Structure 1
Amino acid sequence: MTVGDESYGNVPPAVAVEVEMIKNSFSVDKDTLRKITGHFASQLEKGLASYDSEIPMNVTWVTGYPNGKESGSYITVDMGGTNLRVCQVVLTEEPGGHNVAQEKFKLPDNVRGGSADELWGFIADSLDAFLRKYTVKRQSEKLPMAFTFSYPVTQNNIRHGILQRWTKGFDVSGVEGYDVIEQLEQVLQRKNLPVTIVALVNDTTGTLIAGAYKDPEIKIGCIFSTGCNAAYMEDVDSIPKISKSGLRPGTEIAINTEYGAFDNSHHVLPRTQFDHTVDKESTRPGQQTYEKMVAGHYVGELMRLMLVHLHKRAGMFSQSDCSKLNCNNAFDSKILAAIDEDNTESHTGIRDILKRFNIDPTPYELEVCAILAETICTRAARLYACGIAAICQKKRIQRCHVGVDGSMFSNYSKFRKRAAATLREILNWPDGSEDQILLCPAEDGSSIGAALIAALSLRSD
């Protein structure tokens, strides 16, 4: 955008200058992408060697891939973000066959920011409601259950996990530093629920296993939704921090990278004033730096902060009541994506969104909103590609599929295209050649993947 450019509806100079500054600060060129990716790969290596690294590289104790012959009935409970999902997964006798019954329970804000007793009590009550609704028989032998808990944990084995820190806006007291399996099991036993936890699963690991179950070319499982994370299989000989584990040399074991924490030391990521504000006002300032620049829980807030900035600094929306815009997190990722995806010439979709905030926008204000959304989402896609490229560089993967789960990916075509194009830039594929690393929509990591991991854990006993 330049001042007086007719294609932007004669944007007032003060607004045009500020928007141009925002666009420049959010631009990430090819050289910067490659610098970020190189540093990213080195941090992945450090995480495999040490327990106190920036990127945790958590060992999940999931060894190997399913063989397609897994069977049995499993309960899965997925605590990932906005909702709690409870499923009964039956892996049938035919290879790859399964049946799923599921129910979602919205996690109330008071639980997301309450006490450990409130959290585990809510999960147990939701599980109890599910078992009653689907008449799961209370038999003498308890059903095996996999608990998908998508937060950074340190695991000594697959049935254990000490929470390192909350992410995704959660701030439940009395859980950090404790074994989440032990805390949940105590409540389940007290309520006499007919399940026994056989595996603690991260959603990225579940996505990796479920994806590979359907597509053998999937070598990386990734979540791109509320948060951003990835998992892949690593040779145990390349993980110095578990050199005394006793695992057979050559064993492949799933690593939950927890790479949302990348660059918490602020060496390479190009943070802006808006990123600083998002971090400062988050529940965990100083943590999850990469995730806060990329993931769904934060990108909508970046948009809101920009609009507030333009209103106060340059007089944008001067004829409207912007009080609703002053509420933290008033813009979520769905709103941001909808603005970016509005391809109508008159931006009717953007107008309808702004009206929800009591804003009656002018044509130039609609155009500015479209530009800001594209700016934020383009940077998010380009930085997101750096994490995938870093794993491929570290593992020397030349060709593979990446299974990506999450609404921000599956429902957002522009993001997928931008991320794919950025991988080409970083990995320097020849012009006209086909993509070597394919980003593929993946689902059911927290249900099918978790059930498969439960089956694998019982098989390895």
Structure 2
Amino acid sequence: MTQFRKAFMAAVVKSLLRGKTLIQAILSYWLSGNKKSKETGTQKKSLQQFLKDAEAALVGPISGDGLQELSVKLKQQILDALQADVQCMLPSYSHQLPVGSEYGQFLALDVGGSTLRVALVELRGREKGSENATEIVSMQNYRITKEVKDLEGIAFFEWMAARITETIQTTLNREHSVEKPLPVSMAWSFPIDQTSLGGGKLSPMGKGFLADIGLVGQDLGDIVKTACKNQNLNVELKAILNDSSACLLSRAYSHSSTRFGLILGTGVNIAAYLPVSAISRSKFGERPAGWFDEASHVIVNTELGMFGSKILPLTRWDRQLSKEHPRPDFQPLEYMTSGMYLGEIVRLILVDAIQTTGLMGGVVPPSLTELYSLGTETISTIEGDTTADLSEAISCFSEKHPSSHAPSVIDMSAIKAIASFVSVRSSALIASAVYALWDIRQEGDQKLLTTLPESSPLRITVEEDLNMEKTTVAFNGSVIEQYPGYLASCQRYISELLESKPSGENKSIELVSAKESSLTGAAVALACLDS
């Protein structure tokens, strides 16, 4: 390769996230510099057209006013779900946000699909600054092996209780009094029909667990208390949270402007702190006496991935993914945005390109014929490669997807372009959802304000919220945290949507990382109860 071509390819790589500039750069090089290729001129033109069509199909609908129009439609679906849908927009029992002056050490549990974490979390107050307001003083990680998953019914929870006891006695260097209940809070990564802040009916857990055998429908708080008692440990489970609610609470402690918690990794979800008056009473079910007297706002589990039916701009590849999915209509938005599916969308497009344009020498690597064989982690590595010859991307792809055709720089540049279209679209769709929820919250508070008497102390709080210049969205998850350029792209789209709204002047929506949010959020929930 000549020095000129090396320099040109460096320019191509540098422009890989710039939409049309990317395509023009790649194809200009292809058409002018790759004269020794055995591929025909028709095939080269076909690749050019393929990439242009892919960009138009994936990025076109979110360009111009497209994303704003989509956000309006999404907003209406969310408003409808606040009134009737039983699967989405589920109000929790958490109606208190921290004031930032809660202090102390709190025991928090995080029960996931592969790990149990038990931690002592210290809250020090907002005056310590966002980085020092919270600290995980000590933490123990326990792998949930197949043997543990095979524990049936109460035996699994007794295993949990033994790990809590072990953490208290060894890691925390303390004994626990049997007479006085030890308050704990738990992030629970499984389905539950919550009936109180610290309780709820256990649902089938899935993910290979047998712990639900004989216990489905029983109160999770009581199950944990009984299991701990069997291990001579007196525990009271005072708060149960899902991951998005914990994410919101974890940052609300250090950032008083936090009103949303976004999870974007393998799956996607958002928790939103919304006015109770914006939600149909029928969605609350039975609540403790006086709950509505205390709660003006409540954290809502949006189940965001379920939205988007009949309004999302589906491509033929999206339809193919849905067709091959066991639940094709269950989570339309998640299928287009989350880490579980980004790699699969790229795989479908890539196989299409190989078969119709001669990309990769017209040879589909055998592994790519399998569903979900192209991981989002792999396309993240490809997009993150800034070397002039894309050597890191080529090495990664070749190792995971060996083929008789060794991928060239041009092959990898095209794959990188396809991946960028898919990831940018994902970031834009998430931005539209965040903006729609922000808008719903604003309108809900405005309506609430009109119902409050002038003497109501709540008026001050609502007015302060409405006049808040910055709203913080806490986030956690591998895609938004680690995928190259994703966070910046999502933030840019949110800002553009906000600027398009007259009432958005002088306001901002800021995405802020929430590390270890499951444990920290659980501790904050416990602190809010004790304050």
Normalized against structure 2, the TM-score is what? 0.73
| Matched ranges for 1:120-131 at <5 A | 127=164, 130-131=167-168
Amino acid at match of 1:62: S
Closer/same/farther in 2, CA of residues 97 and 26 from structure 1, 3 Å limit: closer
Distance 2:150 2:318 in 1: 23
Q: Secondary structure at the match of 1:45?
A: helix
Question: Is it true that 1:21 corresponds to 2:62 in the alignment?
Answer: no
The Cα offsets for residues 394-453 of structure 1, whole Å up to 9 and x where unpaired, read as 11266412222223223345112211221233233499x877212222223211211110
Closer/same/farther in 2, CA of residues 423 and 151 from structure 1, 3 Å limit: farther
CA contact (8 A) 2:276 2:295 kept: yes
- CA displacement at 1:382 relative to structure 2: 0.4
Q: Secondary structure at the match of 2:184?
A: strand
Distance 1:443 1:250 in 2: 28
Q: Secondary structure at the match of 1:356?
A: helix
| Matched ranges for 1:49-448 at <5 A | 49-52=83-86, 56-80=88-112, 83-91=115-123, 96=133, 98-105=135-142, 127=164, 130-131=167-168, 134=171, 135=173, 137-140=175-178, 141-150=180-189, 153-162=192-201, 170=207, 178=217, 180-181=220-221, 187-193=227-233, 195-241=235-281, 242=284, 245=287, 246=290, 247-248=292-293, 251-263=296-308, 266-282=309-325, 284-318=327-361, 322-357=365-400, 358-359=402-403, 360-396=406-442, 399-412=470-483, 414-429=485-500, 436-448=508-520
- Matched with 2:80 is 46
Q: Secondary structure at the match of 1:443?
A: coil
- CA displacement at 1:250 relative to structure 2: 6.0
- CA displacement at 1:340 relative to structure 2: 1.5
CA contact (8 A) 1:225 1:406 kept: yes
- Matched with 1:454 is 526
- CA displacement at 1:343 relative to structure 2: 2.2
Give the aligned length.
452
Distance 1:4 1:73 in 2: 56
Distance 1:216 1:44 in 2: 25
Amino acid at match of 2:342: V
Closer/same/farther in 2, CA of residues 331 and 118 from structure 1, 3 Å limit: farther
CA contact (8 A) 2:126 2:254 kept: no
Closer/same/farther in 2, CA of residues 425 and 366 from structure 1, 3 Å limit: same
CA contact (8 A) 2:259 2:473 kept: yes
- CA displacement at 1:251 relative to structure 2: 2.1
Q: Secondary structure at the match of 1:161?
A: strand
- CA displacement at 1:122 relative to structure 2: 6.9
Gap runs ≥5 in structure 2:
1-22, 35-42, 128-132, 443-465
The Cα offsets for residues 287-319 of structure 1, whole Å up to 9 and x where unpaired, read as 222122111222122223333333445443348
CA contact (8 A) 1:2 1:20 kept: no
Gap runs ≥5 in structure 1:
none
CA contact (8 A) 1:8 1:367 kept: no
CA contact (8 A) 2:245 2:301 kept: yes
Question: Is it true that 1:35 corresponds to 2:69 in the alignment?
Answer: yes
- CA displacement at 1:243 relative to structure 2: 8.9
Closer/same/farther in 2, CA of residues 251 and 321 from structure 1, 3 Å limit: closer
User: Hey, which of these two has a bigger chunk of helix by percent?
Assistant: 2
Q: Secondary structure at the match of 1:48?
A: helix
The Cα offsets for residues 98-121 of structure 1, whole Å up to 9 and x where unpaired, read as 443223445568988998779757
Distance 1:334 1:83 in 2: 21
CA contact (8 A) 1:25 1:272 kept: yes
- CA displacement at 1:230 relative to structure 2: 1.5
Distance 1:416 1:79 in 2: 27
Closer/same/farther in 2, CA of residues 361 and 224 from structure 1, 3 Å limit: same
What fraction of aligned residue pairs are identical, expressed as a percent? 21
Distance 1:120 1:308 in 2: 46
The Cα offsets for residues 9-53 of structure 1, whole Å up to 9 and x where unpaired, read as 757344444443333221222433223211222232233323525
Closer/same/farther in 2, CA of residues 249 and 48 from structure 1, 3 Å limit: farther
Normalized against structure 1, the TM-score is what? 0.83
Amino acid at match of 1:146: S
Distance 1:189 1:8 in 2: 70
Using the TM superposition, name which of 381-390 and 224-233 deviates more. 224-233
Closer/same/farther in 2, CA of residues 5 and 235 from structure 1, 3 Å limit: closer
Distance 2:495 2:349 in 1: 30
CA contact (8 A) 1:119 1:172 kept: no
Distance 2:364 2:168 in 1: 48
- CA displacement at 1:6 relative to structure 2: 2.6
Between Structure 1 and Structure 2, whose CA radius of gyration is higher?
Answer: 2
CA contact (8 A) 1:4 1:13 kept: no
Using the TM superposition, name which of 377-386 and 179-188 deviates more. 179-188
CA contact (8 A) 1:79 1:149 kept: yes
Distance 1:52 1:85 in 2: 31
RMSD over equivalenced CA pairs, Å:
3.7
Q: Secondary structure at the match of 2:253?
A: helix
